[in-house]
Amino acid sequence: MPIRVAIAEDNALLLDGLARLISATSDLELAGTATTLDELLDLVVEAVPDIVLTDIRMPPTGTDEGIRAASAIRASHPDIGVIVLSQYVSPAYAVALLAEGSERRGYLLKDRVADVDELVAAIRVVAGGGAVIDPKVVEQLVNSTRMSDGPVDHLTPREREVLSEVAQGKSNAAVATALVVSERAVEKHINSIFSKLHLTEEPDLNRRVAAVLVYLADGDTGHTPSDVATQFWNRA
């Protein structure tokens, strides 16, 4: 069965390009298109796609419609994956997208659309229940992590590297490959990260989400971790 993809984008040229891309990929199927938040939510109810590929900003307000759509879809259709396309790397957007869990969620920069293979791969990962965060977003967030005495400051340089890889949605095995270490070493680093971030009681998936949220929020220079991240942190 093909992966049915709905697209929400108010730029006509980009919308057309995305629609053509989806239609031209053998295991994908275009479920419909929308140009506003209301149209998207109606489309989800009518077509029930497997994946929603949405711009982060579109009518009616041109602010955070993509994030709001993801939250609404999580509540009404939790099995539908949402990939937000954005030109913004603000930690606040990424934290908001992952606030209710990282399962079936993706955050990609719009220039990723030019790399057809990577975009299609992200759609497949999210459709399968995984999460994808654009490596460029992670890189810029890492570079901006300069809070004094923030929770991430208690991590060692190697633990920061591991958490950076985890924030990209990688498994322990994939992190081990990327850092050229054993999977057992990655497990030890992740357990240490959980301990230092006071994430010791939640199931593994929740702890990974919480660690990523704290990590992303800590990149918001000059501010304490966001309320969303703190809520996850305090569950431990």
> Among residues 213, 206, 215, which one has the least CA distance to residue 235?
206
Q: Residue 10: its pLDDT value, please?
A: 95
Same domain, 110 and 205: no
Same domain, 117 and 16: yes
Q: Residue 141: its pLDDT value, please?
A: 53
Same domain, 105 and 169: no
Backbone φ and ψ of 154, nearest 5° = -85, -5
Q: Is it the case that residue 156 has pLDDT exceeding 80? A: yes
Residue at which a domain ends, from 134, 165, 182: 134
DSSP result, 62-118: SSSHHHHHHHHHHHH-TTSEEEEEES---HHHHHHHHTT-STTEEEEEGGGGG-HHH
Chain position carrying tokens 């591991």:
162
Mean pLDDT of 80-87: 94
Percent of the chain at pLDDT exceeding 70: 75
In a domain, 140, yes or no: no
Mean pLDDT of 201-226: 54
Q: Residue 3: its pLDDT value, please?
A: 97
Same domain, 57 and 170: no
Mean pLDDT of 3-11: 97
Same domain, 44 and 77: yes
Specify which of 9-13, 128-132, 196-200 reaches the highest per-range mean pLDDT: 9-13
Q: Residue 53: its pLDDT value, please?
A: 97
Cα–Cα distance between 216 and 193 in angstroms, integer? 14
What is the tally of structural domains in the chain?
Answer: 2
Residue at which a domain ends, from 93, 112, 134: 134
In a domain, 139, yes or no: no
**What is the per-residue burial (b if ≥16 Cβ within 10 Å, else e) of 72-105?**
ebbeeeeebbbbbbbeebbbbbbbbbbbeebbbb
Same domain, 151 and 130: no
Same domain, 62 and 94: yes
Q: Is it the case that residue 223 has pLDDT exceeding 70? A: no
The CATH number of the domain where 157 resides is what? 3.40.50.2300
Residue at which a domain ends, from 112, 134, 156: 134
Same domain, 124 and 166: no
Q: Is it the case that residue 233 has pLDDT exceeding 60? A: no
> What pTM did the predictor assign?
0.68
Cα three-residue angle 152-158-163, rounded to 5 degrees = 50
Cα-trace Rg, the chain: 18
Same domain, 163 and 192: yes
Q: What domain range includes position 93?
A: 3-134
Q: Residue 132: its pLDDT value, please?
A: 82
Same domain, 115 and 44: yes
Q: Which of 228 and 117 is assigned the larger pLDDT?
A: 117
Cα–Cα distance between 200 and 48 in angstroms, integer? 37
Same domain, 7 and 122: yes
Percent of the chain at pLDDT exceeding 90: 48
Classify 204 in phi/psi space as left (phi over 0), alpha (psi -120 to 50) or beta: alpha
Same domain, 86 and 190: no
